[in-house]
Structure 1
Amino acid sequence: MAEEKSNGSTVIGLDGMYENYFLDYASYVILERAIPTIEDGLKPVQRRILHAMFQMNDGRFHKVANIIGQTMQYHPHGDAAIGDALVKLGQKDLLIDQQGNWGNIATGDAASAPRYIEARLSHFALEVAFNKHITDWQLSYDGRNKEPIQLPMKFPLLLAQGAEGIAVGLSTRIMPHNFNELIDASIKILQDKSFTIYPDFQTGGYLDITDYNHGERGGRIKVRARIEKQDKNTLVIKEIPYGTTTSSLIDSILKANDKGKINIKKITDNTAKEVEVVIDLASGQSPELTIEALYAFTYCEVSISPNACVIVDDKPMFLDVREILRRSTMHTKALMRAELKIQEKEWLDKYHFASLEKIFIENRVYHEIEEAETWEAVLEIIDAEMRKYIAEPDEEILPGDDRLVLARPFIQDDILRLTEIKIKKISKYNKFKAEEAIQALQDEIDKTRHHLAHLTEYCIDYFTHLKDKYGKDRQRRTKITTFGEIEIQQVVANNAKLYVNYEEGFIGSGLKKATFIRDCSDIDDVIAFRKDGHFQVSKIDDKVFMGKDILHADIWYRGDERTTYHMVYLDGKSKRTYIKRFQVKALTRDREYDLTKGTKGSRVLYFSVHPNGESEVIKVTLSSNTRARKKVFEFDFGDLDIKGRRANGNILTKYAVRKIEHKETGGSTLEALKVYMDNATGQLNMEERGRFVGEFEGADQLIVIHKDGSYELLDFDPNLRLPVESVHTVARFEPEIIWNVVYYEGSKKWTMVKRFQIETSTTSQRFPFLTEHRSTKLLLITPESKTKVMYRDGEKNEEEFVFEEFIDVKGWKALGNKLDESKVKIIEVEVPDIAEDDEGAEASKDKEGEDKDEFSPGDTVDLQVKKGGQGDLFD
């Protein structure tokens, strides 16, 4: 608190200083440095840069050093802050045209020194950001100049560029959005329609907006790099997540490799104009699992928490992006109205004086001033003479009075302007042209008033104009999709080895003299089952005690719905033998669980593990001294239901058991996995995300047919990620299927038809079934031999054929038969309904074919193969 001393001085206490000085400082940082205003979407330094560039604008490029110097007239924080802000504005590629090395947002490389690079305002900036007539001004920090309080921004710049800033006690982080999508959404706002907008980044990548919450506080987005599998040993990163650079990305990958989370051999940054980071995998590493691990352990996936804080009426306010866009659109509408009002006034002024000038010259008013001896007399004569032909706006006009009613009063300034008319203009005066000019002015006034009366339509036309003129090369770069959850334990590289001492009960990665189980990672969980019927799960370490007499030990994955355990145990109390079949999906780590009835003396007689729920037949031999008539019998575990670990199981026998032997293993008793492929990322999943691939069991394989006319067999892996850009068809592989193909052969320039079966068995290798000429193009592929194809040949005639009637099955390397000596246009495909009897089956038209009259070369068809539970094969 402030206290006044006897000598007149004032002492301010610490609490008073905190209350006044700190709040003043906080307010300054929030309003004048860190947080953008909602109206023009700019921070003060950005606004001052643009204003200085507008003052300098002559259409040519200026040295950035010169721009910085000009901006320092308005911004009191030094050249470094101005230079950094200017470079960041330029890198947004919206308001500023750049010349020279402006750095690289992908690699993080800095721009050249200000004396080497140049800039100027873009045409877009000049159109949307400046109008001195509707700009509010204030004095600069030193009072020598005027600067805009806000620029009259007629575009949602804040959402187009995004913004980040840290102030005192709060921060802002607004994501950039797509130029065209913002304009489309603004038009919908003006039309009072619903809309949604989502972020779009210059760096591309994939975006999961599940928890975006429209950019409000508490929301979250996840952004991923676009990673492509070049071959089985090489991955290529083509696009990176927003907020990262190739340098930071590579550093995170190297750190993950050092920690053993992934296993790579080499990483190379070939980024130039486009991002290209090449990752060479270590021998034996799965590309698909490595991609998942990159997302899990590196900056290939980042999580961003938006926080849309903006300045509204000189106060910070937290809004969502929809409200920001609504306010921006309404602000643009208000600015358009203000501009139209100014235009109307300008046209009215021109119309007013043109009318006065016409009267002045046609009625030779200038002759009346020849005898005037003083300037005052001249003005009085003109005033008197002009009023014979004009009437004031509020003057009552009587019948027969043909004077011109003015739109505004006739004032002294009008008289002065009349005296300034040159003799040359009077001598060359043309009445007809003057009337045309006045009518043109009237037309402009009417047009401006029409725009004011239909302001919403005028604004919609304005936004449409911006999109047509500046939005052609501003398509969405970031693909919106949904990311599946990555199971960390399943994708981390094997950087440890699991050993087990079965008798002593120790498990760990440091037991080199114990029995080796498998390679694993240092974050895996280990499950161990013991002869006394107990089991537990623990985190892997160098040496962990799990209890003596271990029967089985392995890596355990939470939520595993495939691995099934078979167990036969003796109940210590009843002496009966029980049999059970169970799974372990969830439990508490380091807690001991009992699989028996829990009585003293219970023990396990038989135990086996089946990774895909396979059935099993065992042979049971009873003790010879039992009274059982049948002392040897078989039992099929497939007859048991799979239950939880707590279930006691079924009674196998009440007699003493001498031994139990495994006889044979059957097929899986679990439901086949229904597998889908994410249309955006190519990730296989079981969450019904994307197109249906098929139902998979055991050793089933995938067949992938690529758009370049090659096929590839892959072992099924639920973590597999396919290259969406190159995939034409993906399905469960069935060797007996005949593939029917129409293609354009590039060297002969013919359209060919062929039918073949897959004859190779090598996995993870592409086999081209079309010729490798660069003009060869796959037009159609289907597994239905009875498919009827309608096409238009080179002479524009419509023809048709059925695959199995046109050509026999040949080898996959065969060229096939000629269909036409030119490239045909496929216009319709009729596929038989193979779910019905062949004789009664009706041809069902492809869904995509019903919506369009013709197929273009390269179009794909949405077909289904019913047998074997196979699903959608085509895009």
Structure 2
Amino acid sequence: MSTDTPDDDDVAERIEHVRVEDEMEQSYIDYAMSVIAGRALPDVRDGLKPVHRRILYAMHEDGITSGSGHRKSSSIVGTTMGDYHPHGDSAIYDALARMAQDFSMREPLVDGQGNFGSIDGDPPAAMRYTEARMSPIAEELLDDIEKDTVDFASNYDDRLQEPEVLPSAFPNLLVNGSSGIAVGMSTNVPPHNLGEVVDATIELIENPDATVEDLMEHVKGPDFPTGANIVGRNGVHQAYKTGRGRLRLRAKFETDEEAGRIVVTELPYQANKARIIERIADDVNEGEIEGIRDLRDESDRDGIRIVIELKRDAMVDVVKNQLLESHLETTFGVINLALVDGQPRVLDLKETLQEYIEHRREVVRRRSKYDLGEAEDRAHILEGRLKALDNVEDVVEAIRNSDDRDAARAMLQEEWAFSEEQAAHVVRMQLGSLTSMERASIEEEYEDVQATIDRLETILGSAEELDQVIVDELEAVAEQYGDERRTGFIEDTGSVTHEDLIPESEQVVVMTEDDYIKRMELSEFRAQNRGGKGIIGTGLKEGDAVASVFVANSHDYLLCFTNHGQVYKLKTYEVPEMSRTARGKSAVNLLDLDDDEQIESVVNTADIEHDGEAEEQQFLTMVTRGGYIKRSGVSEFQNILSTGIRAISLEDGDRLADVEVTDGAQDVVIATRNGMSIRFDETEARAMGRTARGVRGVDLEGDDEVAAVAGIDESRNSWLLTVTENGYGKRSDLDAYRVQSRNGKGLIDIKTNERNGGVTALDAVGPGDHLVTMSEQGQIMRCPVEDLSIVGRNTMGVTVMDLEAGDRVAAVDVVDAERIESDDEE
């Protein structure tokens, strides 16, 4: 037995040599185009992807219309998969289910019965449980498909024909939108209001030179099925002009300040309600959102209703903005990408409508040709019937004498010039149709058919008439299915922060030795004459005492320096506002302090100039109880962590005494508890990093320690003010303090005898400034600094504040004249 073996040369000739990279490139391009055209992108003409088009066509072919009964979804999916869409059943069912979701589609194309999913993200029930049929508006997409209005192609196995596009009686791409991810590109077309889109389409038909701006007079913006609001119009304009844009979508909600609640009634498109509620609850539990005490989902079939109950002291606008920033506002990225002649293109609003109009013109033109042919065929038959009636007796006699039907047809064609179609029809006529009444009916029908022919010929012969047909049909669709806009527009007014809701005013901030802190309006403490007892400024728990007091604007940032050499940053309004008799709130709730860490000094950043070069030349000048001084540039304190940062290194047993803002060209005065003072140029203490200890500023004797430091600005300051712990004080001219070198013993500033006690505070003051003095037991007094007599150094001073027995001055702050005038104006 012999076998034929191929010749090696023949085999070699049939082998084609191809570069691997070229083959991979071409194969990938073929795959990409298959995904782009056959799966992921909608056609600009009917706005459908192949899967949606095939589902609707399969339902149409099976007669599952809006007037029929519902059919099991599994049956529809099976027909679609078996006849037209050779892909997985889950992908087909997902597409079917989405077309039935009124929260996904602006005009649902499927009328579903059963569970087709929810806005909470619940999936549809299994396809064997749900039923579906076409919605009425879906039939508008397929209307006249039998009249050769669109091209058909063979299905995947060449058994059947399927439409390449649907006739689409309305611009479905814009009305229902589309989203999909292809290879290397994606589309995200938002849904729109049917009436607005139809109006814009008619405008473009009647005025082809209309601009995008002209069309936007009709199409105000996307109209999402879930309603909500679009924030601002810039994103809409950009999307319509370029085909790409970003829209900010915001939930609709109502605020009831009396009841203390926020009620959400509409959510942004494609938002998951259950997930939003869960994330809000998580943020409340983690402290990211403050002021919410309860959260309920009261939504039902009538609509969305999320109730957010607020705490009594919550600021509604602040909570609202926290919710908007994280949960109730989303972004929709518009990418108006669709297939045009099988190629993906990004289209602006006008181009999208132009493509639809051209498609619709082609559909109406082809339909008119089809209808004209049908009408002409009918007119031809009617002419034959009328001719037969004109010769009815002879025709009947001739047919009676014919051997068979074929002979009768031949005789009619030969004797009276009937066409073959006419002769066949006459032969099949019943005798009853030969009555005079039937003749009248035929003549009437013939006139109607002739009128139809004339009308169709007019449409085919006139572009204006054809366009008018399109306009009339669009208006009919809009009238039948159109509704009001659901999505509104709101202006972008920006976020309202906690700070925005707090009026600017001067505040008195009080801290105790046990680190209780609070603030009060400075206006609560009217100016008195020196020597008064003042009024109660804070309540104290047993064993506690006032440690410091200072005045700051409610919007100022405060730098809080501690005994550990750390510095923290705090906004004045973050300090709880309380009554004069209240104790305050523990500072550990505001600052991340260690157990044994206490606030020693506070600097108001309002005293720092924030204008570039001036800021670079400013310093925080720190002095310690042990006599050290250190200057560090303010720029080193710009990024302060919530856990604080190192401000100064301290020797064992030393503590921070005071901090002052200086400008690099000032003199500083250090005051000691025993009444000594030393004035020197601040540059004698060179600028150092934050972690440095500093250099000696004053040479202390015995058990003396530093009480305070002051920076002298001779353009504003006229005197040095000193206050002692027993409530005495004085003003002295600056000239009384000669400039020395640092680390000297200095000069006597004030007598610290038994009457005066030790020095508590020293500051540089000017005309119009006020002195705020607070005792350890919580009494506070405010008086003009000019009430204190001007005396020389080494004097006793006068009574500043009349203290109760056993009480002492705890802290002093000076409010400059400008801040007092500003607060009075407010």
What TM-score range do you get, normalising by the shorter chain? 0.5 to 0.7
Cα 1:127/1:625, change in 2 over 3 Å = closer
Shift of 1:218: 4.7
Shift of 1:516: 10
Whether contact under 8 Å (2:73, 2:130) holds in the other structure is yes
Which structure's CA Rg is the greater one? 2
Cα 1:456/1:75, change in 2 over 3 Å = same
Q: Which amino acid aligns with 1:103?
A: G
Tell me the equivalent position of 1:88: 98
Tell me the equivalent position of 1:810: none
Cα 1:27/1:372, change in 2 over 3 Å = same
Tell me the equivalent position of 1:123: 136
Match of 2:308 among 248, 272, 279: 279
Higher strand share: 1
For structure 1, the 5+ residue unaligned runs are: 388-409, 519-525, 554-566, 576-589, 592-600, 609-618, 638-654, 671-696, 699-875
The answer on 1:463 being equivalent to 2:474 is yes
The answer on 1:62 being equivalent to 2:71 is yes
CA distance in 1, matches of 2:350, 2:271: 26
> SS of 2:339's equivalent?
strand
Tell me the equivalent position of 2:666: 572
CA distance in 2, matches of 1:82, 1:438: 48
Whether contact under 8 Å (2:364, 2:470) holds in the other structure is yes
The answer on 1:101 being equivalent to 2:115 is yes
Match of 1:22 among 28, 35, 38: 28
Tell me the equivalent position of 1:506: 567
Tell me the equivalent position of 1:439: 447
Cα 1:287/1:9, change in 2 over 3 Å = same
Tell me the equivalent position of 1:544: 645
CA distance in 1, matches of 2:820, 2:285: 43
CA distance in 2, matches of 1:380, 1:420: 14
Cα 1:107/1:247, change in 2 over 3 Å = same
Match of 1:603 among 701, 707, 711: 711
Shift of 1:51: 0.6
Whether contact under 8 Å (1:155, 1:329) holds in the other structure is no
CA distance in 1, matches of 2:398, 2:152: 46
Q: Which amino acid aligns with 1:210?
A: N
Shift of 1:482: 2.5
Q: Which amino acid aligns with 1:433?
A: S
- Alignment TM-score, normalising by the size of structure 2: 0.61
Can you list the C-alpha shifts for 1:761-792, whole angstroms capped at 9, x where unaligned?
xxxxxxxxxxxxxxxxxxxxxxxxxxxxxxxx
Q: Which amino acid aligns with 2:146?
A: K
Cα 1:366/1:667, change in 2 over 3 Å = farther
Tell me the equivalent position of 1:206: 229
Whether contact under 8 Å (1:507, 1:545) holds in the other structure is no
Tell me the equivalent position of 2:338: 310
> SS of 1:477's equivalent?
coil
Tell me the equivalent position of 1:168: 183
Cα 1:632/1:171, change in 2 over 3 Å = closer
CA distance in 1, matches of 2:471, 2:142: 18
Shift of 1:480: 1.5
Shift of 1:71: 0.9
Tell me the equivalent position of 2:44: 38
Whether contact under 8 Å (1:234, 1:280) holds in the other structure is yes
Matched residue count: 569
Can you list the C-alpha shifts for 1:652-685, whole angstroms capped at 9, x where unaligned?
xxx9999976569556499xxxxxxxxxxxxxxx
- Alignment TM-score, normalising by the size of structure 1: 0.58
Whether contact under 8 Å (2:568, 2:640) holds in the other structure is no
CA distance in 1, matches of 2:352, 2:601: 59
> SS of 1:267's equivalent?
strand
Q: Output aligned runs, 1:113-152, within 5 Å.
A: 113-130=126-143, 131-133=145-147, 134-152=149-167
Whether contact under 8 Å (2:32, 2:183) holds in the other structure is yes
CA distance in 1, matches of 2:792, 2:46: 85
> SS of 1:227's equivalent?
strand
Match of 2:254 among 220, 223, 228: 228
Tell me the equivalent position of 2:58: 52
CA distance in 2, matches of 1:301, 1:177: 20
Considering Cα pairs closer than 8 Å and 6+ residues apart, tell me whether 1 or 2 has the greater RCO.
Answer: 2
Q: Which amino acid aligns with 1:237?
A: V
Higher helix share: 2
Shift of 1:438: 2.0
Shift of 1:636: 8.4
The answer on 1:253 being equivalent to 2:267 is no
Tell me the equivalent position of 1:711: none
Tell me the equivalent position of 2:408: 378
Q: Output aligned runs, 1:315-354, within 5 Å.
A: 315-354=343-382
> SS of 1:306's equivalent?
strand
Q: Output aligned runs, 1:171-186, within 5 Å.
A: 171-186=186-201
Shift of 1:161: 1.0
Q: Output aligned runs, 1:846-861, within 5 Å.
A: none
The answer on 1:367 being equivalent to 2:397 is yes
Shift of 1:442: 2.7
> SS of 2:380's equivalent?
helix
Whether contact under 8 Å (1:572, 1:602) holds in the other structure is no
Shift of 1:129: 2.3
Cα 1:222/1:379, change in 2 over 3 Å = same
Tell me the equivalent position of 2:702: none
Whether contact under 8 Å (1:217, 1:305) holds in the other structure is no
Q: Which amino acid aligns with 2:366?
A: A
Tell me the equivalent position of 2:727: none
Tell me the equivalent position of 2:620: 530
Shift of 1:569: 7.3
Tell me the equivalent position of 2:215: 195
Cα 1:118/1:570, change in 2 over 3 Å = closer
CA distance in 1, matches of 2:363, 2:732: 93
Cα 1:270/1:606, change in 2 over 3 Å = farther
Whether contact under 8 Å (1:347, 1:441) holds in the other structure is yes
CA distance in 2, matches of 1:322, 1:53: 32
Whether contact under 8 Å (2:296, 2:306) holds in the other structure is yes
CA distance in 1, matches of 2:150, 2:85: 19
Cα 1:162/1:606, change in 2 over 3 Å = farther
Shift of 1:56: 1.6
Shift of 1:251: 3.5
> SS of 1:343's equivalent?
helix
Tell me the equivalent position of 2:767: 634
CA distance in 2, matches of 1:534, 1:343: 89
Cα 1:353/1:181, change in 2 over 3 Å = same
> SS of 1:311's equivalent?
strand
Q: Output aligned runs, 1:478-517, within 5 Å.
A: 478-486=487-495, 500-501=560-561, 504=565, 506-507=567-568, 509-512=591-594, 513-515=597-599
Whether contact under 8 Å (2:769, 2:816) holds in the other structure is no
Shift of 1:492: 13
> SS of 1:486's equivalent?
coil
Whether contact under 8 Å (2:72, 2:128) holds in the other structure is yes
Can you list the C-alpha shifts for 1:681-718, whole angstroms capped at 9, x where unaligned?
xxxxxxxxxxxxxxxx95xxxxxxxxxxxxxxxxxxxx
Shift of 1:5: 7.5
Shift of 1:138: 1.4
CA distance in 2, matches of 1:514, 1:623: 33
Q: Which amino acid aligns with 1:42?
A: L
Can you list the C-alpha shifts for 1:314-342, whole angstroms capped at 9, x where unaligned?
11111123321221133223322322332
CA distance in 1, matches of 2:732, 2:170: 85
Can you list the C-alpha shifts for 1:525-559, whole angstroms capped at 9, x where unaligned?
x9998346953422433122356989899xxxxxx
CA distance in 2, matches of 1:300, 1:14: 51
Identity among equivalent positions (%) equals 27
Whether contact under 8 Å (1:350, 1:441) holds in the other structure is yes
Can you list the C-alpha shifts for 1:208-260, whole angstroms capped at 9, x where unaligned?
33123125455211111123223453222211111211022123324433553
CA distance in 1, matches of 2:714, 2:226: 57
Moved more, 42-51 or 123-132: 123-132
Shift of 1:62: 1.0
> SS of 1:506's equivalent?
strand
> SS of 1:219's equivalent?
strand
